[in-house]
Amino acid sequence: MKFKTYPKEAAFAIEHVRNAALLAKQIQQEARSAAFTKEDKSPVTLADFTVQALIASALQEEFPKDVLVGEEESAELCTPEGQETLKKICAYVEKALPGKKLSAKKVCALIDHGKGDATKRFWTIDPIDGTKGFVRGDQFAVALALIDKKEVKVGVLGCPRLGSGGSLIISVRGEGAWQQPLDNKKAEWKRLKVSGRKKIEEAVLLRSYEKANASISEVSQLISQFGIKKGPVQMDSLAKYAVLAAGDADLMMRFPTERHPYEYIWDQAAGQIAIEEAGGRVTDLNGKALDYSQGRKLLANRGVLLSNGHLHAQILSAIKKL
Ligand code: AMP
Ligand code: MG
């Protein structure tokens, strides 16, 4: 797949997200249990740390000047309780990067390369989005995006459990969103297009699998107000964005909760560009564009609304009246 803008960045993201997502799938099969529970009570696994270290290592080689903003950090691994986990991560990283002699300290430094500041041009990585799904043996995604001049320019989603061989989606601003089976890099790239559905009562709505991840009462109100017949499809992670971009669903929204008042940039960027490049729309719940100039969180936005475009205005005006 060749692109006119950001060609090197797109090729880089395709290659490294594919490799990382395939490895994450292997880790899901071998060792999917949580290693720690983070301060916000969310789990983190061997795969989260391993993928962030691998993407950071590749980035340092190919784009040494570029900043990385990643979800994970190595602090827990440096405690006495973290040593066992750190050893296992090092083993996966070493196997993925044969010939590179990496000490445990260096692996931690790679993970912490993700502590960069979200400024002018930066990459953002969610090494395992949907960690709860990953631990359960369900959907998850590896998500990498390049943000330049406050806009998502390139995004790649690796969804190992979407479709029979998994799914890899590359989006480049102005050049479309394209999908290929994750496990077959020789297969043809297929251009993604959102659904053409205009009747809101027939819409297919997506929502988080985890009930705690979104306030449900507003969504239930909208479902009954519009007479949406199909029950919401529950799915973990940015795989939902891939499904919507492919036209297999029409709507998703996330109302903030007390525990999660704001979205993180890595939970949106690579999915947002896929939906937009497939012809859909992404805004916050007030209809405002997602603002990537606020650091690691989308502090200037409230929640998120994704749609095929046709249903967007109708839902926004209903949300306003809630
Ligand atoms: P999902 O699989 O859609 O529930 O999304 C999972 C991802 O979203 C994880 O990265 C969570 O840390 C993050 N997350 C979960 N709930 C929220 C929320 N209410 N607001 C912002 N981020 C959230
Ligand atoms: Mg996430």
Q: Does the beta carbon of 260 lie inside 6 Å of ligand 1?
A: yes
Q: Does the beta carbon of 267 lie inside 6 Å of ligand 1?
A: yes
- How far is ligand 1, taken at its centre, from the CA of residue 29, in Å? 23
Please report where in the chains the tokens 């107000």 appear, as a residue. Answer: 225
Q: Does the beta carbon of 183 lie inside 6 Å of ligand 1?
A: no
Residue closest via CA to ligand 1's atom 16 equals: 213
Q: Taking Cα atoms as reference points, which of 157, 197, 200, 211 lies closest to residue 180? A: 157
Q: Taking Cα atoms as reference points, which of 63, 52, 172, 161 lies closest to residue 113? A: 52
- How far is ligand 1, taken at its centre, from the CA of residue 125, in Å? 14
Which residues, in sequence order, are CB contacts of 252 under 8 Å at separation 6+? 205, 206, 207, 240, 241, 244, 304, 305, 306, 307
Is there a catalytic annotation at residue 131?
yes
Residue closest via CA to ligand 1's atom 7 equals: 130
Return the pLDDT at 38: 86
What's the sign of the alpha-carbon dihedral 128, 133, 135, 138?
negative
Is there a catalytic annotation at residue 48?
yes
Q: Does the beta carbon of 179 lie inside 6 Å of ligand 1?
A: no
Residue closest via CA to ligand 1's atom 4 equals: 208
- How far is ligand 2, taken at its centre, from the CA of residue 183, in Å? 23
Return the pLDDT at 39: 85
Find the ligand nearest to 298 CA. Answer: 1
- How far is ligand 1, taken at its centre, from the CA of residue 239, in Å? 12
Q: Which residues have CB less than 5 Å away from ligand 2 (the ion)?
A: 126, 129, 267
Q: CA 239 to CA 195: how far, in whole Å?
A: 16
Q: Which atom of ligand 1 is nearest to the CA of 207?
A: 3
- How far is ligand 1, taken at its centre, from the CA of residue 261, in Å? 10
| Tokens describing residue 38 | 């983070």
Q: Are 271 and 160 in contact (CB under 8 A)?
A: no
Q: Does the beta carbon of 237 lie inside 6 Å of ligand 1?
A: yes
**Could you read off the pLDDT tens digit of each residue along the chain, which spans 322 residues?**
899 999 999 999 999 999 999 999 999 999 989 888 988 888 999 999 999 999 999 999 999 999 999 999 999 999 999 999 999 999 999 999 998 989 999 999 999 999 999 989 999 999 999 999 999 999 999 999 999 999 999 999 999 999 999 999 999 999 999 999 999 999 999 999 999 999 999 999 999 999 888 778 999 999 999 999 988 999 999 999 999 999 999 999 999 998 889 999 999 999 999 999 999 999 999 999 999 999 999 999 999 999 999 999 999 999 999 9
What's the sign of the alpha-carbon dihedral 243, 248, 250, 251?
negative
Return the pLDDT at 101: 86
Q: CA 270 to CA 217: how far, in whole Å?
A: 27
- Pocket probe mutation, ligand 1, options 52, 126, 213, max atoms within 8 Å of Cβ: 213
Return the pLDDT at 285: 98
Three-class HEC string of 74-113: CHHHHCHHHHHHHHHHHHHHHHHCCCCCCCHHHHHHHHHC
